[in-house]
Structure 1
């Protein structure tokens, strides 16, 4: 038995709650994972896991051993990384989930740089605006905008998205140009509604100018639950949009979107990278997280940047 492989298999079973899912992430067979854990238990002469047909859980001995295993795996990785002559090229597969506009506008266009640095890393990229269950769906990390609400995740803030209000020239030609945000509520104007994954409904937008603060709800003929579809609807003239600047700047430059309500501001939207707690963070995941933080330091995307490598437990719906 390779004790390192056995400890890694045990840790991954704990993290995924499944021998099958652990095998998928380790790229070995379920039988191999089962054998490694059984051999580890035989070596230690204790039962680490309680197995039923429906779930896998840790015994009391397993909980104590798991905490030590995580530290050992992390220490081993750090020891390898600090040796100048050691081959510590990050490799392996990462499962990542990001919002659709973020993927198409920022992440995917920048990936050639990532692969030039780390050619041995494979990424399974989920692109959606739904709430992904990071642990249940065995996702290594997610990028999500908005305040986080799940205490079970670790997260790293990578920036604040500057927001603006926009409309297409076709929309303005049909409905006129609103001069005050309240006109979106009381006159014959339309917004494009965005159905947030947490609530399934469109939420009011808070806007401020000097001492005046409003919560604009607006009326929509169309509401969508995907960021790219939301942008497409606005470009088609179906309503007024609230957009992060990284999504709008290209279309402002071409005249396909017009910025509205000069002098009014909105609270920037925080952007987080979140990942499961208590998981052994692979070198591949570490370099991916650092690369995303570096990528997100673009002044075009953010009003402020969080470039320190501080991680904390936070609330998250990601």
Structure 2
């Protein structure tokens, strides 16, 4: 029995809470995962976990063995990386997840650059607007918008999410232009709801340096970035998307900015990965690279806003520059 492999399989089963998900993330047949765990328990002479059709739970021995396995595997990875970093480029499968619009408009157009730098990395890119559990799903790194709340994860800030409140001219002709937050009580909004909880996400404004949340009434709620903007363009109500998402529509007059003196609360954009003593080289280089991408876009790095001259230049150059278009919501917060 390969004891190191057995430790890797065992910790992955615990992290994902599933034999099937562990097998998928390790590229092993499920039957092999089951056999490895059975052989490991036989070798150790103790049961490591209780298995039912619905859930897995560690025995006391299993919990103690898991903690030691995590330390041992971290030591092994760190030792290997210390020798590899001097004579090898980062390599292996790298599982990344991010909101679809970030991947489609910012990352994918530049993937050839990443592949040229790191040809030995097999990048598996998930594009979803739902929250991803890194440990449960075996994902190495995710891009998220909002404050990090999970203490088991590490976040590196790579950009700033600037939002804008706007609506279609037809909607404003019918319902009027709001001038204060109190005026929003008589207006409708296209709401954005969490894929995880189904809860509608409140709007947030920055007023005198403080966050002010506003609950918006509406007859339509969506959980997709493109649908969110489309509903706004069709006049279903006010929307509060990312500026990059609607910049061309604002320039063309298809959308009109509302409450320009009361900006939506800016939010950090972060690359998030599990906490460990050693960050693997392939994750490190990806995080460094994607931070470069965000830094190249003035609106994503916080150097420009809708009111500054560089915004118009950014729009005029959008044919050759990546553009981000994801709603300013906390849907992707850990």
Shorter chain as denominator, the TM-score bin is 0.7 to 0.9
Secondary structure of the corresponding residue to residue 125 of structure 1 = strand
**Corresponding position of 1:117:** 117
The structure that is helix-richer by fraction is 2
Question: More deviation in 211-220 or 247-256?
Answer: 211-220
Aligned-residue Cα RMSD (Å) equals 3.5
What CA deviation, in whole Å up to 9, does each residue of 1:206-259 have, x standing for no partner? 435549986543442322122221112122333221122232334334444332
Distance 2:238 2:88 in 1: 53
Distance 2:34 2:70 in 1: 19
Mapped to 1, the partners of 2:291 and 2:45 lie a distance apart of 42
Q: Is the 8 A contact 2:50 2:59 kept in 1?
A: no
Q: Counterpart of 2:15?
A: 15
Aligned to 1:77: 77
**Offset of residue 25 of structure 1:** 1.0
**Structure 1 segment 301-312 matched on structure 2, within 5 A:** 301-303=300-302
* Other-structure match for 1:313: none
Q: In the alignment, what sits opposite 1:92?
A: 93
Q: In 1, distance between residues paired with 2:38 and 2:206?
A: 61
8 Å Cα contact 1:165-1:242 kept in structure 2? yes
User: CA separation in 1, counterparts of 2:272 and 2:76?
Assistant: 24
CA gap of 1:217–1:67, structure 2 versus 1, over 3 A, is: closer
Q: What stretches of structure 2 of length at least 5 have no aligned partner?
A: 304-331
* Distance in 2 between residues matched to 1:202 and 1:15, nearest whole Å: 30
Superposition deviation, residue 156 in structure 1: 0.5
> Which is strand-richer, 1 or 2?
1
TM-superposed deviation, 1:192: 1.6
Give the deviation of 1:284 after TM superposition.
Answer: 3.9
1:288 corresponds, among 286, 289, 296, to 286
Pairing of 1:227-242 with structure 2 (within 5 A): 227-242=225-240
The equivalent residue for 2:161 is: 161
2:180 and 2:163 map into 1 onto residues whose CA distance is 17
1:235–1:28: structure 2 CA closer, same or farther, 3 Å change rule?
Answer: same
- Is 1:27 the counterpart of 2:39 in the alignment? no
Aligned to 2:190: 192
Q: Say how many residue pairs are matched.
A: 301
Relative to structure 1, the CA distance from residue 234 to residue 246 in structure 2 (aligned partners, 3 Å threshold; closer, same or farther) is same
- TM-score relative to the length of structure 2: 0.73
Whole-Å separation in 2 of the counterparts to 1:101 and 1:41: 45
Q: Deviations over 1:16-56 (max 9, x none)?
A: 2233322211112223333434444555x343622423344
Q: Which moved more, 1:241-250 or 1:270-279?
A: 270-279
Is this contact kept in 2: 1:244–1:301, CA < 8 A? no
Q: Which of 257, 262, 277 lines up with 1:264 in the alignment?
A: 262
| SS of residue paired to 2:109 | helix
Match of 1:222 among 208, 220, 223: 220
**Aligned-partner Cα distance in 1 for 2:16–2:217:** 43
- Cα distance in 1 for partners of 2:167, 2:237 equals 7
Give the 3 Å change call, closer, same or farther, for CA 243–212 of structure 1 in structure 2: same
Cα pair distance change 1:12/1:181, threshold 3 Å: same
Change (3 A) 1:93 1:215: closer
CA distance in 1, matches of 2:46, 2:288: 37
Hey, what's the Cα distance between the residues in 2 that align with 1:33 and 1:5?
10
C-alpha distance in 2, partners of 1:40/1:88? 33
- Cα deviation digits, residues 70-106 of structure 1 (max 9, x gap): 2332333333333356445321151x44333333333
Correspondences of 1:57-76 after superposition (within 5 Å):
57-76=57-76
Alignment of 1:233-252 (within 5 A): 233-252=231-250
Structure 2 Cα separation of the partners of residues 299 and 117 of structure 1: 24
8 Å CA contact retained: 1:18, 1:56: yes
